[in-house]
Structure 1
Amino acid sequence: MRNVHLDLIGGFRLLAGGHPVVLTGTGQRLVAYLALGGPAARVVTAGTLWPAVPETRALASLRTTMWRCNRKVDGLVTAEWHGIALAPGVEVDVAGLLGGPSAPPGGPSAPACGELLPGWYDDWVVFERDRLRQRTLLAWEQAAVDLAAQGRFAASLDYALAAVRADPYRESARRAVIAVHLAQHNLAEALREYHHFRDLLVDQLGVEPSEELAALVFRGRVAVTHR
């Protein structure tokens, strides 16, 4: 399917030929469910989207919703013997992010920073939202490591700090920041970041940073001292 684009970051938005397509609430949920999870059995989809009604009614609601979606965009939801799916060729904004941890092409200020389907609290949405968040943080941390290895320290620090802002308690994000500072021989900055993180953990959670992180700081101190 050509010229159909679906945005899920920041809210549901469907475009066909550049024009907005208005779906019902259940239509939006069906399309989003298939976009995030891929092809699914009818009975599973019906049970997920209409969990509080009997299976026969849920399946009937699914058929009606599919028909209404396809009236808006012909062939948007396809039906095969094994189940239903979003039409091939529909461009989905989160597809690359959910496929694996790769750095957002626009840097840490790219749309990946936004929330997946804000205001939706279905269990499957909450699961996918957390999965996207974890994928994004992993991508940013890996980008920080890769860019530092290339000597691109400013860009590396941008990614590392973005991960820290997203989750201040995440040690792997703090480690990325500290590693960038140490790579530039900025021992004072590395120590400041470590002690700030340690104070945060002790004050809020009553725990210390890992021994591995402390060892990284120690090795960095030794390396800088003996330059």
Structure 2
Amino acid sequence: MGGFLLTHVGVDDKPVDVPASAQQLLALLGLRGATTRSAVAGTLWPDVTEDRARACLRTAMWRLNGAGPALFSDTRSGVLSLSGLVRMDVHELTATAHRVLAAAEERNGTACEALLGSGELLPGWCQDWVVFERERLHQLRLHALEALSARLVAQQEYAPALEAALESIRVDPLRESAHRAAVSVHLAENNLADAVRHYEAFRGLLRRELGLEPSGQFVTMVRSAME
């Protein structure tokens, strides 16, 4: 999240210099899990012959030999996967988001730190498989932020609830459910003026950008609060 970085935790914590092809190999396995060699080669080098793609894969793995021990698990079966010793921030973010969405026990401070502090997945990478994973994580994070905001409102923790809602808006300014989450916080605090101002600002943005009006659900929420 925020860019590729490989470090040896507990050794020197310094970034490890990894060639671009090897970065892609590590990222693909980290995001998809165990994958056959042929699938990895075809995904990373789709515009060359199968033999050439397999050769590129062997080269990428060879270049990682100096990056540290135990990057890969047993590869004799023809299936590649990262070693269980490898930790990825994506996995931690995903696990936190799923716990929040499942309403499982989760420390609010830990959830806020994970969901608010993450950047975009591999910014600047434009491969199809990266774009797909980026959108998947984008949507998961937004839903988790909105769920976390609602949970914090229920616990009367309004400041972090608003922060979670506003982070969702920052990530996707035209997302109505994120704006509804922010308005819900204002209403829970009896800050009706703030709620109305936020609604009107979103309404203006939606009109300018898309020529649309807020949903009936949002309109009803605000009107009911004003009665």
TM-score over 0.5 (shorter chain):
yes
> Is the 8 Å Cα contact of residues 178 and 190 (structure 1) preserved in structure 2?
yes
- Structure 1 residue 194: Cα displacement: 1.2
Determine whether 1:201 maps to 2:197: no
Counterpart position of 2:25: 30
The one-letter code matched in structure 2 to 1:63 is R
1:49-88 alignment, distance < 5 Å: 49-78=44-73, 79-81=75-77, 83-88=79-84
Q: Return the alpha-carbon distance in structure 2 between the equivalents of residues 164 and 153 of structure 1.
A: 16
> Is the 8 Å Cα contact of residues 93 and 114 (structure 2) preserved in structure 1?
no
The one-letter code matched in structure 2 to 1:11 is G
Distance 1:152 1:164, change over 3 A: same
1:77-226 alignment, distance < 5 Å: 77-78=72-73, 79-81=75-77, 83-99=79-95, 100-101=97-98, 102=100, 104-106=111-113, 109-110=116-117, 112=118, 114-222=119-227
CA RMSD of aligned residues (A): 1.8
Larger RCO (CA within 8 A; separation ≥ 6): 1
- Structure 1 residue 146: Cα displacement: 0.4
Q: Return the alpha-carbon distance in structure 2 between the equivalents of residues 176 and 89 of structure 1.
A: 38
Segments of structure 1 that go 5 or more residues without pairing to the other structure are: 1-8, 223-227
Identity of aligned residues (%): 44
The C-alpha deviation readout for 1:57-79, integer Å capped at 9, x for no partner, is 11121122223213432331231
The C-alpha deviation readout for 1:6-39, integer Å capped at 9, x for no partner, is xxx2221111223432221111110011111111
The one-letter code matched in structure 2 to 1:204 is E
- Structure 1 residue 86: Cα displacement: 0.8
The one-letter code matched in structure 2 to 1:133 is H
Q: Return the alpha-carbon distance in structure 1 between the equivalents of residues 212 and 87 of structure 2.
A: 44
The C-alpha deviation readout for 1:138-184, integer Å capped at 9, x for no partner, is 12111110000001111111111111122110001001011111111
Distance 1:133 1:141, change over 3 A: same
Counterpart position of 1:21: 16
Q: Return the alpha-carbon distance in structure 2 between the equivalents of residues 138 and 109 of structure 1.
A: 13
Secondary structure of 2:81's counterpart equals strand
Q: Return the alpha-carbon distance in structure 2 between the equivalents of residues 142 and 88 of structure 1.
A: 30
Secondary structure of 1:127's counterpart equals helix
Structure showing the higher strand proportion among its residues: 1
Segments of structure 2 that go 5 or more residues without pairing to the other structure are: 101-107
